[in-house]
Each structure stands twice: as C-alpha cells, then as structure tokens.
Amino acid sequence: MPPAKRSAPLQVSANGPAGLGQLPPAALGASRSSHPRPSAADPPLRYIGGDASLDLVNTVDWTARGLANERLTGYERLTRWAEGAGVLPRAEAQRLRAEARERHARVRLEVLADPHPGP
C-alpha cells in the first residue's frame, strides 16, 4: 500500500499555527536551558503512521503504565518533527527555530537586566 498523501504545510509563526494565538513561554523553550537543541537523551522522532496526524500521535509511547518517552519536549523538537513529517518546509522550520532562539535570548536578557522582578 503506498504511503498516505501528506497535507499541505501549515502556515506557522513563532507564535504558533495561524489563528491559535500565542504559544506559552515553555513551548518556546523559556523553561529550558539557554540551548534548547535536542539532546542525546531525547527519544528519536519516528514517522511510522503514513500520515502526519498518526505520526503526531506516535510522538509519545503508549504503554500499560501510561504515556512514556515524549518526543516533543519543546518548540525546537516540535519544529523538527513538523519538518520531518512534511507539514513544514525546511526553510520555514529553520527560520522559526532561529526566531524562537532570538526571542528566548532577548527575553532572558530583559529578565536578567530587571533588578526588581515581581508584580
């Protein structure tokens, strides 16, 4: 059986898919280290469903104990998965990752520069 046809790429910005509003800071890697690149500890991304929607479901292992081995651990991994699944062109995925890293660095500098954080 031939693989299922992939849908057209999503229109996405660093704020998330068009029309869905802004992603929370954790999705941009703000709760992670200043280097949000995948590590050797991240499980490999898999594309075994033949369709992006099934591949998305397979980004976590479904076990008798519950969900395990989450593969979409941050925005960097999400854009890499979307690129590999064929729903986001490579150049767009690279641009989004660069924009997210730049935004993360800018926010980090703003937070560090504020001598009186709080309400």
The reply to whether 20 falls in a domain is no
Instruction: Print pLDDT tens along the chain (119 aa).
Output: 455 455 444 444 444 444 334 434 444 343 333 334 556 678 889 898 899 999 999 899 889 999 889 999 999 999 999 999 999 999 999 999 999 999 999 999 988 888 776 66
The reply to whether 12 falls in a domain is no
Burial class (CB in 10 A: 0-12, 13-18, 19+), 60: middle
The reply to whether 55 falls in a domain is yes
Pairing of strands 16-17, 66-68: unpaired
Number of domains into which the chain is organized: 1
Residue 48: give the domain boundaries: 41-113
For the question of whether the overall pTM of this predicted structure is more than 0.75, the answer is no
The reply to whether 104 falls in a domain is yes
